[in-house]
Amino acid sequence: SGKLKVGGGTHMHTMRAIVSSAGASSLAPWRARLRDFQQPMLVPGVARCGRHVASRWRAPLQTAMVSTTLAGGLVCSRAGLRLGQRRSEARCRSTIKKVVQPAEPRPGTSPWDADPSLYEELLVEKVERGRSLLGARLQVPLEIIRSPPLHYRLKTEFDIQHCGAGISFGISKPGTRDWMSVEQYPIATQAINKLMTELRRELSLPQFDVLRRSAFHAEFVSNADGGVIVCMMHRKKLDEEAWRPAAEELLSCVTADGFIGRSNKQRLVAGEGQLVQNYEVQGRVYPQIHAELMFSQANAHVCAEMLRWVAEQTSPAEGKSFEEQGDLLELHCGNGNFTLPLAANFRQVLATELVKDATQHATECARRAKVQNIKFARLSSKELELALSGERAFRRLDDAGVELSHYNFQTVLVDPPRQGLDQAGLEVVKRVRRCLYVSCNPSRLAADLDELPGYEVRAAAFFDQFPFTEHAEMAVLLERPA
């Protein structure tokens, strides 16, 4: 048994790793190493756990317990457990059972039972946490952007449980494996909630058995105009000849714009396979493609405010030419959400993203919006750093028509995933005098700012992107003094 303490946290969580070994002939000492926490799950009131958290122990029994105390709690998910018998090289298969027991959330503060009367109270708590994370770095006013408390979420996912001839949608309570059926999801759009009710009713009918059979997961995608599509994932390959007419008949019975069936290396579509969410920024309309299994902004109201804020922060000063403004470099551009409206403030833009489908969506959005001064390139942060330093040439840059010597990068925009910037990303930022950092994880934002000591925060904003969750979005404008 071992304890790991980080930052003086107060929440105690216990994880038991119960090891069942096949063919163990004795109770000889075992050596176990718990390593590589991957794909973290959020537990209410919980902060991120480091990727490499290890605890070693030796015991004559096949049960090991690790207790950890972390700032705000513990995040854990899949873990690898290596077992080796000291006097034998035989490998044994093991089963790991992890139990995380977080404190029960207050009634009305969770996504499934959101009480709008508690919204302001919860927002104040989140804002104060954000302020405390930035600490002394925050010497400018913090602009606070509120969200509608209910029906704001454009995308949501549910597990599917089969109940006789029908199905129910549900989730596992955070930190446990307890199934909780969800009839209505208050934070999801009204279009999603309506479609959930319709699907539970229609999929219980025998003519739709092919659509229901072997389904285990559903993802709902909507837009602010009331459009909605649903994707159901299946464990077994779908019979296209039987699936397609059933899906088309289902669409005539529900309010969905599209119905998608997925299994391993298979995607079948009836109706629309994606939706478009339009945002107006500085008098121009920019589209954003929403599709299943692809990242897109989940809160239309807050996203519009984010686009307004970043556009204001990068607007050229009065009398300043595009040549003086310089060019924009963007990391993690996704489907071009920030790229398109910011292109109006710069002579030219180079936007990079590693996910191929995302860059294709971004290119299509730019074509629809008739924005012509953007180049999209599929590069990781490490590859971009190598290209900027001249250490390596990439054909993907040539294919995109990018000649780096033709750019004068004065501003970099980063909107990294929840784990923040990697070392290569930080090195890219250090090349540029001004940085717009948009973060969906304020704790990682604070950690990355520690790695950028030469920059000062010139503007900051707090976006309540995810009411009734622990998540929030923060953005800062960083500048390096001349």
* Active-site annotation, residues: 440, 473
CA distance 342 to 331: 14
Q: Within a 10 A sphere around the Cβ of 280, how many other Cβ atoms? A: 12
CA distance 300 to 26: 60
- Residues β-bridged to residue 350: 329, 375
Contact 238, 213 (CB under 8 A): no
Q: How many CA atoms lie within 13 A of 165 on its CB side?
A: 9
Contact 294, 357 (CB under 8 A): yes
Picking from 447, 348, 331, 476, the residue whose alpha carbon sits closest to that of residue 402 is: 348
Q: How many CA atoms lie within 13 A of 96 on its CB side?
A: 19
> CB burial class (10 A; 0-12, 13-18, 19+) of residue 461?
buried
- Residues β-bridged to residue 144: 462
CA distance 231 to 199: 12
